[in-house]
Amino acid sequence: MYAVIKTGGKQYRVSPGDVIVVEKLLGDAGAKIKLDQVLMVGEDGKDPEVGAPLISSAAVNCEVLDQSRSDKVIVFKKKRRKGYKRTKGHRQQQTVLRVLDINGKGAVKAAAKKAAPKKDDAPKAEAKAETKAPAETKAPAEKKAAAPKKKAAAPKKKAAAPKKKAAATKKAAAKKKDD
């Protein structure tokens, strides 16, 4: 069984047991939520029931798993050659839901609990625990001391350019000789 629901301006195809992330809905973790904006309900091998636009008698029961925020979206605006730049970030609030059932049908079965170990298996489990114990008692490795950081060498000063006065005086002297 599946349904197409509408929440937060978006549509989701869900079936019992699905985990979906939707726009923020009110409710703490563990709370039950009833989504009544059902657009379509269908089952395998049967024609789906389609609403116009909604099916009034249908509802999807969900459980809130978490209230969180999505990844950050960066908004960057720029106008070239004008010196205009603006940066903003946004994180959308979101709710994580687990679909329990649709119209009270197709409820999710509770996860089966692990059976207690048999009496024959108990000694084997204890023996395994004993063999692992010595490995866990190792002393933690000592941390190596970090080498001291070297200071960056100061930038070397460039050698002063040779003065041009000497060359200018030689040219002036040569010019006088020619005259």
Cβ atoms 16, 108 nearer than 8 A: yes
Q: Within a domain: residue 30?
A: yes
Q: Within a domain: residue 113?
A: no
pLDDT at residue number 23: 96
The terminus-to-terminus CA distance of the chain in angstroms comes to: 112
Q: What three-state secondary structure class fits 155?
A: coil
Q: What three-state secondary structure class fits 166?
A: helix
> Domain residues for 36?
2-102
Q: Within a domain: residue 129?
A: no
| DSSP 8-state secondary structure symbol assigned to residue 91 | -
| Count of structural domains within the chain | 1
How distant is the alpha carbon of residue 59 from its chain centre? 30
pLDDT at residue number 156: 62
Q: Within a domain: residue 70?
A: yes
Give CB contacts under 8 A, 24+ apart, made by 68-71: 68/93, 68/94, 68/95, 68/96, 69/93, 69/94, 70/21, 70/94
Q: Within a domain: residue 159?
A: no
Cβ atoms 20, 12 nearer than 8 A: yes
* Structure tokens belonging to residue 24: 């923020």
Q: Within a domain: residue 153?
A: no
Query: pLDDT in tens for each of the 179 residues of the chain?
Result: 899 999 999 999 999 999 999 999 999 999 999 999 999 999 888 888 898 899 988 999 999 999 999 999 999 999 999 999 999 999 999 999 999 999 867 666 655 555 555 555 555 555 454 555 444 455 555 555 555 666 656 566 665 555 566 667 777 777 777 76
Cβ atoms 26, 35 nearer than 8 A: no
Q: Within a domain: residue 15?
A: yes
Q: Within a domain: residue 144?
A: no
